[in-house]
Chain A
Amino acid sequence: MSTPASVIPDHPRTLAEKVWDDHVVVKGEDGQPDLIYIDLHLVHEVTSPQAFDGLRAEGRGVRRLDLTIATEDHNTPTLDIDKPIADLTSRTQIETLRRNAEEFGVRLHSLGDKDQGIVHVVGPQLGLTMPGITVVCGDSHTSTHGAFGAMAFGIGTSEVEHVLATQTLPLKPFKTMAITVEGELRPGVTAKDVILAVIAKIGTNGGQGYVLEYRGSAIRSLSMEGRMTMCNMSIEAGARAGMVAPDEKTFAYLKGRPHAPSGRDWDEAVAYWRTLPSDEGAVYDAEVFIDAAELEPFVTWGTNPGQGVSLSGVVPAPEQFTDPNERAAAERALQYMDLQAGTPLKDVRVDAVFMGSCTNSRIEDLRAFASIVRGRRKADGVRVMVVPGSARVRLEAEAEGLDTVFTEFGAEWRFAGCSMCLGMNPDQLAPGERCASTSNRNFEGRQGKGGRTHLVSPLVAAATAVRGTLSSPSDLDDTADRVGAANQAKAV
């Protein structure tokens, strides 16, 4: 095949092992790390400035400009994008990235550019993210790209510098965990619900040191967008990365994208990609099984992504937790979230709904949201923000008329970026405000100081925006058809 096979081991291997083996530049001896080649390095304004400064101090350049791409996302405003950025820190970070990209020759998609957007939305959209490659970025949600069968993980700023200078990283192999979800998902149950259930099951540290490989019929039935949502949140289970074996859906998604291989390269690539799925009999370091049919729409009630329950359930009581640390954490979380144990989650009123973030801001996510809110009005007093993951998603949504659906519903239709996922820009919750959010982190203050976050799927976010309380589409009157349609498309 194309890659110089060091030595192809004769034992059955997992997907993760295959990708790893293909990227070993120097095998580490005596417990030393392997030197791993990096195929794609994504860069954004928050974690790159010191890396470029370090290169400058040592008189080094970027080794492979053709494997490096930068975009602006964390700090970008989602309104008035043609005006100067008001916040000084945000502006400095963005201006620094622009200067560094210019000086070192890195391709950059700036605010206003068609390919600007959240770094994890831009890579797949351009067809740069593909099976069997290694992807890194100075951002923990780099795990998103694993949906294509890539080995993708977040790195720190000194590692960003290391990759810029050498296109490699010294790494010790990760352990592997199979997460098998078998069966058919019920109507209205999406990838977001599955991953929230996985995290609630294995815990926010359950994946530590592992690459999670999502397998089983329920995963195969998900769209690429749904798989990205799952892999995106692997990090919330403490894992280094998440992966899904490539299949026909993966190839169909990639075909014809700007940077996808073409002609003979395409054939060669697909032939190689077909060899990637885990071999029969490959051994994982850990295994978890989930019955898809048992899953319901899921929502978090606490201040970490593992503190979640079925939306039809109630806020748990701290006494339910036998582990003293978990009990203490639950007590603190309930206090911060201002929730009483035993309250049905569907009685919880929200002030805001945030539809966006690298977990759920691709076109299918917006379509799912639109399928529920079309022809309706949002609940009084609820602020609804829809933020596309990239400028291109925004254009695509507008071409389909989704922007009108959103604005007629009473939502704000914004420009692309991380936005209220972390509130580095002006999109923040006020202290005490409660938000149903399609993002990935419900930590204290994540969406604004004192803000309270409930993580949900786009369908639940939409139903919640309609009713003003945490709701699933099945709580809406006369929506059987819409829910059915959204699910049929396996939208999210």
Chain B
Amino acid sequence: MEKFTTHTGVAAPLQRSAVDTDQIIPAVYLKRVTKTGFEDALFANWRQDPDFVLNQERYRNASVLVAGPDFGTGSSREHAVWALRDYGFRAVLSPKFADIFRGNAGKQGLVTGVVAEPDIERIWAAIAAQPGAQITVDLQARTATLGELQVGFEIDDYTRWRLLEGFDDIGLTLRNEARIAAYEAHRAGWRPRTLPVQPQPAD
């Protein structure tokens, strides 16, 4: 997983609350068999509306989403995070996230910063005054800065540490590689092995 310290990119305002994972990625896209390539699926229904924020030229390359409260509610599908990531988002700011979505995001390197609701509205106002402006998300300092405006955000220490270090769950576990190998060295011989394939009785 890529390390995240600071990121600067276009901020897209998503002025809606309770954006559920069905909106982030509709169920029909769940049939795919890959873990990447979901950029076209992101907000697929909303994107049919030419006025939708991501259809506006200046937000097309946005990488920081500034959303209303209760972002990511509904089904636990990890695809919601994959779609945001594949589209190019590195961070989402919202006054409140659904827990499972936050957990999934942390595993995929997507920053979920909890910003007080009045501050979210200030960011929206700043974007409205300067559409297409860049925002800087500083994970070390836990701040988001857009021009003159700087607001703080919350993210739990453990997730922040993992993102700063670029550790996904597997990466973290593999830091214990030596201990896994030591455990394996002592496993009993009777424990099951799928290989080599044993000769089977004739039928």
Contacts and interface: CB of A to CB of B under 8 A. Distances in A.
A107 B194 contact: yes
A107 B195 contact: yes
A353 interface: no
A17 B188 CA distance: 19
B51 interface: no
Q: How large is the interface on B (under 10, 10 to 19, 20 to 34, 35 or more residues)?
A: 20 to 34
B189 A265 contact: yes
B173 interface: yes
Interface stretch (B18-26, B120-128, B137-145, B176-184): B176-184
B173 A170 contact: yes
A295 B81 CA distance: 48
Contacts of B188: 1-3, 268-269, 272
Contacts of B78: 50, 156-158
A104 to B, nearest CB: 13
Contacts of B190: 2, 130, 261, 265-266, 268-269, 272
B198 interface: yes
A259 B173 contact: no
A68 B194 contact: yes
Interface stretch (A59-67, A218-226, A374-382): A59-67
A67 B187 CA distance: 12
A182 B33 CA distance: 47
B189 A2 contact: yes
A220 B36 CA distance: 49
Nearest to A39: B191
Contacts of A60: 170
Contacts of A133: 191-192
A158 B179 contact: no
Contact of A170 (B168, B169, B186, B199): B169
B189 A268 contact: yes
Nearest to A69: B194
Contacts of A93: 33
Nearest to A259: B192
A482 interface: no
B197 interface: yes
B171 to A, nearest CB: 8
B107 interface: yes
A262 B192 CA distance: 11
Contacts of A3: 186-188
Given A50-B35, A53-B33, A165-B174, A40 B200 contact: no
Nearest to A165: B170
A146 to B, nearest CB: 15
B173 A162 contact: yes
Contacts of A89: 31
A35 B36 CA distance: 28
A358 B174 CA distance: 34
A72 to B, nearest CB: 14
Nearest to A256: B201
Nearest to B33: A49
Q: How large is the interface on A (under 10, 10 to 19, 20 to 34, 35 or more residues)?
A: 35 or more
A168 B173 contact: yes
A53 B198 contact: no
B34 interface: yes
Contacts of B107: 158
Interface in B62-103: 78
A54 B203 contact: no
B106 to A, nearest CB: 11
Contacts of A339: none
B183 A53 contact: no
Nearest to A58: B170
A269 B187 CA distance: 12
B192 A40 contact: yes
Interface in A24-70: 25-26, 35, 37, 39-40, 49-51, 53-54, 57-58, 60, 65-69
Contacts of A168: 173, 180
B170 A166 contact: yes
A258 interface: yes
A162 B170 contact: yes
A161 B176 CA distance: 17
A263 B190 CA distance: 10
A51 B33 CA distance: 9
A128 interface: yes
Interface in A397-455: none
Contacts of A170: 169, 172-173
A58 to B, nearest CB: 7
Given A25-B183, A53-B33, A259 B193 contact: yes
Interface string B23-50: 0000000010111100000000000000
A425 to B, nearest CB: 15
A114 interface: yes
B195 A65 contact: yes
B192 A49 contact: no
A61 to B, nearest CB: 12
A258 B198 contact: yes
A128 B194 contact: yes
A119 to B, nearest CB: 12
A4 B194 contact: no
6 contacts: A3-B187, A53-B34, A58-B170, A60-B170, A107-B194, A158-B104
Given A53-B36, A92-B33, A259-B198, 6 more contacts: A3-B187, A53-B35, A58-B168, A114-B200, A158-B104, A258-B199
Interface of A: 1-4, 25-26, 35, 37, 39-40, 49-51, 53-54, 57-58, 60, 65-69, 89, 92-93, 96, 107, 114-115, 127-130, 133, 156-158, 161-162, 165-168, 170, 258-259, 261, 265-266, 268-269, 272, 395
10 closest A-B pairs by CB: A2-B188, A49-B33, A269-B190, A261-B190, A53-B35, A4-B186, A265-B190, A50-B35, A69-B194, A66-B195
